[in-house]
Structure 1
Amino acid sequence: MLGPAFVAAIAYVDPGNVATNTAAGSAYGNLLLWVVVLATLMAAPVQYLSARLGIVSGASLPAYVAARSRRRVSRLAYWGQAELVAVATDVAEIVGAAVALHLLLGMPLVPAGLVAGLTAMVLLVLRDALGTRFFEVVCAGSLAVIGLCFAFGLVQVPPSPGELAEGLLPRLGGSETVLLAAGIVGATVMPHAVYLHSSLASDDRSTRERAQHEAAGVEERLRTARWDVGLAMLVAGTVNVSMLVLGAAALGGGDGDSLEAAYDALSGGLGTAAGTAFAVALLVSGLASTAVGTQAGAAIMRGLLRRRVSQLVRRAVTLVPALALLASGTEPLAVLVHSQVVLALGLPFALVPLVLASREHRPPGSGEGVVRVVAVVAALVIALDLTLVALTVTN
C-alpha cells in the first residue's frame, strides 16, 4: 500500500525546488539551509494529515470544503485560488523541463516546452492504461534519479561540516532572503500536493486497487500511511538539502543567477558530467511533476465543482501560459522562484481547512497531536506570508 506519498513527494523536488534551492545556495551559501530542513519537517505532518483525512472520511480535502460551503460563490472563490496555485505549479514544471531540454539538446525553449507538455500527456495516458501502481513506481524511480544526480555533484565538492552546522542556525539576511524563504516553503509544502494526497488516499485508484486498499483496516492503513509519508519525506528532504548545499558549494558567488548559468558553472568547474547530471535532474523533475500537477488540478476541480475534466484537456489548457512565458523571454529562474512564492501565499487556504476537517474526521482513539502540529505549521506559514507582503508593500 506504499506509494501515494511518493506521488505527492514528486511535487517537493520539482523545478521550483531546484530553482529556489539553487538560487538560495548560490547567492547566500548555506544561510537558508535551516529553512529547507524546517520546511521538510513541516511537510511531513501535513502530508500525513492529508492522507489521514482521505482514509478516515473517504473524501478529499476539496470535497470537504465543497460540502461545507453553503454558497456557490464561496465555493467558486475557493476553487479560483486553488486553481491558481495548480496553474502556478504547472507553469513551473513546464518551464523547468523546457530549460532542461534546451541545456541537454539545444532545443529552443518554446518547442521544448511543447515536448514537455506532450510527454506529461503520455504519462497520464499510461497511468490510466496501466494503473495507479505504475505511476507510483514512476514517481519513486524519478525521486531516485533526481537524488542520484545531485549526489553526484556533492561527491565532486563535499560540503564542510562546519558550514552545514552554521546553516542550521535560524536567521535571515534581508528582504530578498525572506522572498527565497517563502519560495522554499511554498516549493516544499505545496498546497496542490495537500489537495492531491487526500484524493489519492480516498478514491483515486482503479476498482481492483481500491478494493485491495480498503480491505485493510483503518488503523493498518494509517500505519502504512505513516511509513509512506516518512520514507517519501526523508528522500525528498535529502534531495532538497542536496540542491541547496550543491548550490552553495559549487555556485557560490552568484553563478546560479540563472539555470543556464548554473549549468555552465557546474560544467566548467566540475566537468561536463556534473552539468549534465544537473540538467537531467531538472528534466526528470519537470516531466514527472507536470503529470502530478495535472492530476492535482483534476482532483481539485472534481472535489470542489463536482465536475470531471479530462486530464489531457487540463494539460493542454495549462500548457498555454507556460508557453507564453517561455516565448516572452522572461528569465526562467525568476518565473520559477516567483511561482513558488504564489504557492506559499496559497498554503494557508489548504492548511486551515485541513486542520478543521481533521478535527471533524478523527480515527477512533487517535490523539490530536498531529492536528496541533499542523495548526502550528499553518500559523508559521501565515506569519511568513504576512511578513513577505509587508516587506513588498514597504519596499
Structure 2
Amino acid sequence: MPGRGLSLLGPALVAGVAYLDPGNVASNMTAGARYGYLLVWVVVAANGMAWLIQYLSATLGIVTGRSLPEELGARIRSPWARRAYWLQAELVAMATDVAEVLGGAVALSLLFGIPLLLGGVITGAVSMVLLAVHSRRGPRHFEFVIIGLMATIVVGFIAGLFVAPPDPAGVIGGMLPRFADSGSVLLAASILGATIMPHAIYAHSALARDRFASTGSARQGTGPTHRIRTLLTATRWDVTIAMVIAGSVNLAILLLAAANLAGQTGTDSLEGAHAAITANLGGLIGTLFAVGLLASGLASTSVGAYAGAEIMHGLLTIRIPLLVRRLITLIPALVILGVGFDPTLALVLSQVVLSFGIPFALIPLLSLTARRRTLGEHANRLWTTVLGILFSALIILLNAVLLWLVLTG
C-alpha cells in the first residue's frame, strides 16, 4: 500500500494482540499435545472469522466515531438491561485478564524462578506502566509499544518450527473438520474463545475511534466521506496484517506441540510444555518460548484493561482511571495464584468462558453494521451480513454442543 497509508496502520495490530494472549498459548499447546494435528482446521477457521469480525468492529468506530459499547449504551433504554449486559461483558473481560496475568506469572517463573504470586504482581505492575503510556502519550505511542511486544511474541513462538518442522501430511490432514471426543470439542471451544475474543471486538471499535476521532458522524451524512473510505481501505490492510500474524503464530504453537510434544506426559501445562520444548529442541528455543509467553501476557493484559474500561464507560457512562481499574481487575488473578489453582487449567477454562461471551458482542455488532441508519453507505453488503450470521450460528452451535457435553459428561 502507499507509504502514506502506513501511518494509518496500528489499531488492528493492537487489537490483534488479544489473539496472542497466554490463553491462546495454553489452548493451542494443549490441543497439539493431546490431539496432534486434529484441530488445525479450528485455528484456521477461527482466524478467518476473526478477520471479518475485527474489520466490522473497526468500521463501526471509524464511521460513527463511537465504540460498540457506546452505541449499545445509547440504544439499550432500560437501565437494568444495560447493567445486565455490562455485567456479562465485564465478566468476560475479567476472564481474559485472568488468563493474561497468569501467563505472565508463569513466564516469569520459567525465566527467573519467581514465585507465581509475585510474578502476577510484577505482570500487573508492568501493565500499569504500559497503560500509563496510553494515558499520557496517546494511542500512537501505545501502539508502538504493543507492536514491539508483538514482534517478540512472533519470534518466541515460531522459532521452534525452524528447528523441528511439522509433518506436512499431518497439517493437511488436520484441515479436515472433525472431532475425536468431548475433550476435543472442549479444546475447540477454548481455541475459538481465544481467537474470536469478545473484548477484542469491543476494544477495536474504541481503538479506531481514538485514533481517528475527527472523522465521526458519518451516519448523519456530515462526515468526510472520502476520508472515511481512505481509512476503511487502510483498515482492511491493518486487519489483514494483524490476522495473518496472529493466525500464523497460533497455528505455529499448535504445530510445535503436535510435532514435538504429542504423547509426552506433563505437556498439558505451560510449565510441562516448556520443559519438553527445552528437552527436545534445546535451551535457546525453550528460553525464546518463555520470553514470547511473557511478552504475550504483558501486551494482552494492557489491551484487556483498556477494553474493560471502555465497556464500563460505554454502557454505564462511568469512567474509572485505567490505572485504578488495573489494580481492581488484578485481584481475581492474584487470588487464583495465591490459592495454588493450576494456572494452565485456569487459562484453558478462561477461554471457554470467552467463547460464551462471543454472541453477546458479535450479534449486536452485525446488527449495527448492517443498518444504513448507523453506517450510511458504509453499511454491510448482503454477503457480509450473511457470512457474519453463518459465523455466529456456528459459534453458538459449538457452544451449545459444549454445554451439553459438560452437563451430560
- Give TM-score scaled by structure 1 length: 0.96
Q: CA deviation at 1:365?
A: 6.2
Measure the CA separation in 2 of the matches of 1:326 and 1:369: 46
Measure the CA separation in 2 of the matches of 1:183 and 1:212: 37
Measure the CA separation in 2 of the matches of 1:245 and 1:280: 19
Among 339, 349, 360, the alignment partner of 1:349 is 360
Match status 1:118 vs 2:125: yes
Match status 1:293 vs 2:293: no
One-letter code aligned to 2:275 = D
Match status 1:232 vs 2:246: no
3-state SS in 1 of match to 2:186: helix
3-state SS in 2 of match to 1:364: helix
Among 356, 380, 395, the alignment partner of 1:381 is 395
- Give TM-score scaled by structure 2 length: 0.93
Among 177, 201, 207, the alignment partner of 1:170 is 177
Match status 1:195 vs 2:206: no
Match status 1:391 vs 2:405: yes
Q: Which residue of 2 aligns with 1:219?
A: 229
Match status 1:82 vs 2:93: no
Q: Which residue of 2 aligns with 1:43?
A: 50
Structure 1 segments, 4+ long, off by >6 Å, are: 212-216
**Structure 1: tracts of 5 or more residues without a match:** none
Among 29, 33, 36, the alignment partner of 2:36 is 29
**Structure 2: tracts of 5 or more residues without a match:** 1-7, 217-222
Which shows bigger deviation, 133-142 or 66-75? 133-142
Q: 1:363 to 1:2 in 2, by over 3 A?
A: farther
Q: 1:368 to 1:217 in 2, by over 3 A?
A: farther
3-state SS in 1 of match to 2:377: coil
Q: CA deviation at 1:143?
A: 1.9
Q: Which residue of 2 aligns with 1:8?
A: 15
Q: Which residue of 2 aligns with 1:327?
A: 338
Mapped contact 2:117–2:334 kept (Cα < 8 A): yes
Q: For 1:108-162, what per-residue CA distance to the aligned partner results, in whole angstroms no more than 9, with x for missing partners?
A: 0001100000000001112222221111122222222111122210111111111
Q: CA deviation at 1:363?
A: 4.0
Measure the CA separation in 2 of the matches of 1:350 and 1:31: 29
Match status 1:157 vs 2:164: yes
Mapped contact 2:150–2:299 kept (Cα < 8 A): no
Q: CA deviation at 1:333?
A: 0.7
Q: For 1:246-299, what per-residue CA distance to the aligned partner results, in whole angstroms no more than 9, with x for missing partners?
A: 011111114421111111111111111111111111100000111000000011
Measure the CA separation in 2 of the matches of 1:248 and 1:146: 19
Mapped contact 1:301–1:308 kept (Cα < 8 A): yes
Measure the CA separation in 2 of the matches of 1:250 and 1:229: 31
Q: CA deviation at 1:236?
A: 0.6
Among 375, 395, 400, the alignment partner of 1:362 is 375
Q: Which residue of 1 aligns with 2:289?
A: 278
Which shows bigger deviation, 44-53 or 135-144? 135-144
Within a 5 Å distance, the mapping from 1:235-314 to structure 2 comes to 235-255=245-265, 256-314=267-325
Measure the CA separation in 1 of the matches of 2:299 and 2:377: 36
Q: Which residue of 2 aligns with 1:54?
A: 61
3-state SS in 1 of match to 2:179: coil
Q: CA deviation at 1:371?
A: 2.4
Mapped contact 1:49–1:370 kept (Cα < 8 A): no
Q: How many residues align?
A: 391
Mapped contact 2:215–2:227 kept (Cα < 8 A): no
Which shows bigger deviation, 322-331 or 61-70? 61-70
